[in-house]
Amino acid sequence: MQGPALDHEVRTLAGAPRSLADYRGQVLLIVNTASQCGLTPQYHALEALHQRFRGRGFSVLGFPCNDFGAQEPGSPEEIQQFCATRFQINFPLFEKVKAKGDKSPLYRTLTEELPEGLRGEIKWNFTKFLVGKDGRVSHRFEPQIEPLAPEVMQAVERALSA
């Protein structure tokens, strides 16, 4: 059965439509990103995590977001250029989302429709949601938790082994 995190149509940063259902059977880390945030260096660790586990059916999915401190003001082209040249990002990047206020459908699901302990308002950039092979969110990691932190690595390993 497809989980609620996969029940969304999104657009790539280049503007092409993409169904998150295409990722069914994979483990995903969905992250709201920003290019001008104090946490922007987490892009390095997100790419390292992506590279480490991608051969086992894992992907980071980046969703630029300008909701917190207006720290993602760029156009899709500027975001792509920044991520490619500054951080050599190879994981998929999507069009900007609204993670608060009039939320994008994916972020409405992540903040309002998940079980207790996972749902709740996004506090800042680089909030991470781990989605299992079944499409269901199993973990939420707040912005200050580094992508290569032991708790994230262990959760990814468990999800890949499930």
DSSP, res 65: B
**C-alpha to C-alpha distance for 11 and 126, rounded to whole angstroms:** 19
pLDDT in tens, 57-99: 999 999 999 999 999 999 999 999 999 999 999 999 999 999 9
Q: Residue 4 has what pLDDT?
A: 81
> What are the tokens at 35?
């290019």
**C-alpha to C-alpha distance for 33 and 139, rounded to whole angstroms:** 18
Kindly list the domain boundaries of the chain, sorted by start residue: 4-161
The predicted model scores a pTM of: 0.96
Q: Specify whether 37 is catalytic.
A: yes
| Annotated catalytic residue within 10, 28, 29, 37 | 37
- Greater model confidence, 26 or 4: 26
Using DSSP bridges, classify how beta strands 9-11 and 17-19 pair: parallel, antiparallel or unpaired: antiparallel
Q: Residue 3 has what pLDDT?
A: 58
Read off the pLDDT of each residue in 95-120 and give the average, rounded to a whole number: 94
pLDDT in tens, 118-151: 999 999 999 999 999 999 999 999 999 999 999 9
Read off the pLDDT of each residue in 5-31 and give the average, rounded to a whole number: 95
| Residues 126, 42 contacting (CB under 8 angstroms) | yes
pLDDT in tens, 14-25: 999 999 999 999
Looking at domain 4-161, does it have CATH number 3.40.30.10?
Answer: yes
Q: Residue 5 has what pLDDT?
A: 86
**pLDDT score of 1 more than 80:** no
